[in-house]
Amino acid sequence: DGVAVLPAPQNLSVHSTNMKHILTWSPVVVPGQTIYYSVQYQGEYESLYLSHMWIPSHWDSPIAKPECDVTDDITATVWYNFRVSATLGSQTSAWSILEHPFNRNSTVLTPPKTEVTKDGSHMVIELEDLGPHLEFNVVYWRSEPDAEERSKLIKNGGISVHLQTMEPGAKYCAKAQTLVKAIERRSAFSRVECVEVEGEALPL
């Protein structure tokens, strides 16, 4: 029976960007040996009503690296606890628990990478695909005094979206931000990108 002589992993923490949550910890080192880790989680409900209840992470254990993608474990905007144990052969360490529970509403939201192009006289934008939780608010306008800004909600990244038809000789610009309804937050805007259609401006 595995005796807990192996040290427990230390320094657990969650790094979360754009709703992708990575649990990391300091590796347990035994020279010449591969250490495997098991990760378990409990949501706020379990910690409130069933504190003994821990659920193995979706990320298949055992894990050889000192990190684990726990995105699929976190399915509600509540507090989550995580714990990790190390295994070497028949030896298993004690569990080490995340010092502060994690809530996905603290994820870091970065402006999306955008590419604004023209397809003939059409203004088109493509946004990076940041996964199922993230939508995009795109603001676009014709670059002229007192320009009217328009906005468009785009549900998925990774596809080209038509914004508007452009007139020759005019410049058109756009910027975008990520939106996450599950946590009611949005990122800063990306830098502005503009395109211009050659040719004479149409007479007024």
Partner 1 sequence: GQEFQFGFCHVQGVKLQVLRKAFGTLRDTVQAQDNTTSVRLLRKEILQNISDAESCYFIRALLKFYLKAVFRNYYRQASELRLRRALSTLTNNFLALASALQPREEDKVFSLAESARRRFLQVQGAFQQLDVEAALIKAIGEVDILLTWMEKYYQ
Name which position in 4, 5, 76, 108 contacts partner 1 (CB under 8 A): 76
Amino acid at 157: G
Cα 130 to Cα 115: distance, rounded to the nearest angstrom: 15
Question: Under the criterion CB under 8 A, does residue 151 sit at the interface with partner 1?
Answer: no
As a whole number of Å, the end-to-end CA separation of the chain is 87
Question: Under the criterion CB under 8 A, does residue 98 sit at the interface with partner 1?
Answer: no
**In the complex with partner 1, which residue's Cβ is closer, 107 or 114?**
107
Tell the smallest beta-carbon distance from residue 124 to partner 1 (Å).
25
**In the complex with partner 1, which residue's Cβ is closer, 56 or 168?**
56
Cα 112 to Cα 106: distance, rounded to the nearest angstrom: 18
Residue list 155-184, contact with partner 1 (CB under 8 A)? 181-184
79-88 vs 96-97, strand pairing mode: antiparallel
For the stretch 102-121, what's the b/e string if a residue is b when 16 or more beta carbons lie within 10 angstroms of its beta carbon? bbbeebebebbebebeeeee
**In the complex with partner 1, which residue's Cβ is closer, 2 or 56?**
56
Name which position in 24, 36, 61, 78 contacts partner 1 (CB under 8 A): 78
**In the complex with partner 1, which residue's Cβ is closer, 1 or 184?**
184
Tell the smallest beta-carbon distance from residue 134 to partner 1 (Å).
13
Residue list 3-62, contact with partner 1 (CB under 8 A)? 42-46, 48-50, 53, 55-56, 58
Tell the smallest beta-carbon distance from residue 186 to partner 1 (Å).
13
With contact defined as beta carbons under 8 Å apart, do 84 and 95 qualify? Answer: yes
**Is residue 16 exposed (0-12), middle (13-18) or buried (19+ Cβ within 10 Å)?**
buried
With contact defined as beta carbons under 8 Å apart, do 66 and 24 qualify? Answer: yes
Beta bridge partners of 175: 139
Tell the smallest beta-carbon distance from residue 155 to partner 1 (Å).
10
What residues line the site for partner 1 (CB under 8 A)? 42-46, 48-50, 53, 55-56, 58, 73, 75-78, 181-184
